Amino acid sequence: MTPKNAFETHVGHFWGLLNTRDYMRARSKLAHELMAIGTLDGVSEALSHVMDMLRLNRSDNMGLRTIIPGLLIRLDRDQECYDFIKWWATCDFDGDDMSKPYLDLHGADALEDDMDWLTGEFPDFYHLVAILLLKLKMMVDTRNTKVARKVLDKSSLPGKLWEPIELATLRSPLSVPFCKLKNNAELARMEVRLLHQIRRLGAAVTRANDQFMLYLLGDSDDLDEMLEARPESYSSGSWEEAALALQSCYAALWETEGVLPMLFDAKACAGADSEREIREIWMEDDRARKGRSFEQLLSDVSTNRVWGYLDYAVENAAWLGPSDERPSQKHTKENQKAWEEAIAEEAEFERDLEEFGSKEESDEGSDGDEIIYF
């Protein structure tokens, strides 16, 4: 039996009432339609709806918590996003006990190095991707701060205008402390710290679902197919999970200027370094190639190596010199030289080994033919 006024008597337990489920489904559809509009007002109103739906149904049987981080990031409410995700991951929650606090974590350290609560054996994949995006957003802000300082150093603007200009280049409120790091060495250390965290998160994303990054940075037609899919269910590590996770965060990725170009540049840097290796080694191994063309294999390998080359892309993003002299090109030349030296050393070692073997055979033959006089 439906209560006379469930909004007064059953707040927090709406999904437990069968007759309120149609209302919850309709409101969820409304929220998704508002999200699809793509305007600031649409996203804000969608967030208001889903947050209120969590108030009505604390256990979140509809899985609304998977889309909330993306909405918060789109609205630059990044601290709330981090707090929301960490609360769900760390709080001892009983949806039936209304006396316990709910979503009451505020001001968690978004730069903390300890992320075991997020990157464990069975992570919440949607939330893992959202935190990765949050860190990438902050990394772009460090790039913007570095570029702003390079430009300001060559300007004649008074010093009192520098900080407002630097602040105007930042997207995430979490990045505001970067402007307080007046020493560029401190800013560089912060960048290295973020880079380490991003690599760890990126590795965790790939472990949890090895298809996510391949589609995000892969063929645009495949990406469109994934964004348009409507899976009714999914399992951990599946194509369906990757599709739903991409749909929950792609608008935030697209709207966070600098993140996707940085990832694609890291992939390009990985490709430049991997091309010769793939052509000379991988293409000769049918088991590794798995029927893929050189271009397909290069794309897949480069994507899997994105996190290892993110530092190249970060350096490139802050480069103000000629495009054909970007830091990544210098690194690639150095790596190619090291590759050639390694090949030459290996060839020399094999020649020495062959000569040594020939000499031993010759010595053995001589010993056998030797005449000994007594």
Tens digits of residue pLDDT in 143-186:
999 999 999 988 889 988 888 998 999 999 999 988 788 788 89
* Residue 197, helix vs strand vs coil: helix
- Token pair, residue 219, equals 């063929």
Taking 3-state DSSP, the helix, strand and coil percentages for the chain, each rounded to the nearest 5, stand at 70, 0, 30
Lowest mean pLDDT among 280-284, 294-298, 317-321, 350-354: 350-354
pLDDT average, residue stretch 257-274:
95
How far from 151 is each of 221, 320, 321, 344, CA to CA, in Å?
39, 9, 12, 44
Q: pLDDT class for 360, splitting at 50, 70, 90?
A: low
Question: Among candidates 117, 130, 175, 127, which has minimal Cα distance to 148?
Answer: 175
Global pTM reads 0.89
Pairwise CA distance, residues 191 & 288, whole Å: 35
pLDDT of 367 reads 53
Pairwise CA distance, residues 223 & 207, whole Å: 20
Pairwise CA distance, residues 194 & 254, whole Å: 21
pLDDT in tens, 273-310: 999 889 888 888 888 888 999 999 999 999 999 999 99
| CB-based burial label for 144 (10 Å; 0-12, 13-18, 19+) | buried
- State the Cα angle at 336 between 335 and 342, rounded to 5°: 90
Pairwise CA distance, residues 107 & 288, whole Å: 47
Q: pLDDT class for 231, splitting at 50, 70, 90?
A: very high
Range among 98-107, 125-134, 141-150, 343-352 with highest mean pLDDT value: 125-134
Question: Among candidates 72, 148, 137, which has minimal Cα distance to 111?
Answer: 137
- State the Cα angle at 29 between 171 and 236, rounded to 5°: 70
